[in-house]
Amino acid sequence: MSHSHNSEHSHSTPHQSARKTPPFRHAVRLFILNAILYGACAAFIGAIIGDSLPDNQQLKVVLALFVVPFVLAIISTVMHVKSHTWTSVDDMAERLLHPHQTPRQ
């Protein structure tokens, strides 16, 4: 996979931040991206097992399929923000709400 970034911008160190957005706004974007990814996985699981559940268990499973991805999104966002490294996940989060913006220029 080729990258269009210059070699000096292709890697960032823990002390070098390539962010243009404020840290809180970036964390919110990371959380939205994580919530979408975990939510899509939960929706797929729900679609597969939904019909095979007894009626008395369906509400519990649906609740779990909302709560677990939300908690996982919070945990993964906090862990990623604490790492202080810029990865392709950060680029995806920045492009999620602004698809024409290139965050590392």
User: How do the domains of the chain map onto residue ranges?
Assistant: 23-96
Q: What is the 3-state secondary structure (H, E, C) of 42-85?
A: HHHHHHHHHHHCCHHHHHHHHHHHHHHHHHHHHHHHHHHHHHCC
Show the CA angle centred on residue 97, arms to residues 44 and 14, nearest 5°.
95
Predicted pLDDT of residue 54:
84
φ and ψ at residue 2, rounded to 5 degrees: -95, 150
Amino acid at 98: H
Which of the four pLDDT bands, split at 50, 70 and 90, describes residue 49? confident
Which of the four pLDDT bands, split at 50, 70 and 90, describes residue 58? confident
Which of the four pLDDT bands, split at 50, 70 and 90, describes residue 23? confident
Instruction: Give this prediction's pTM.
Output: 0.70
pLDDT tops 80 at residue 24: yes
Predicted pLDDT of residue 33:
94
Q: Which of 35, 31, 17, 30 is nearest to 89 (CA)?
A: 30
pLDDT tops 60 at residue 102: no
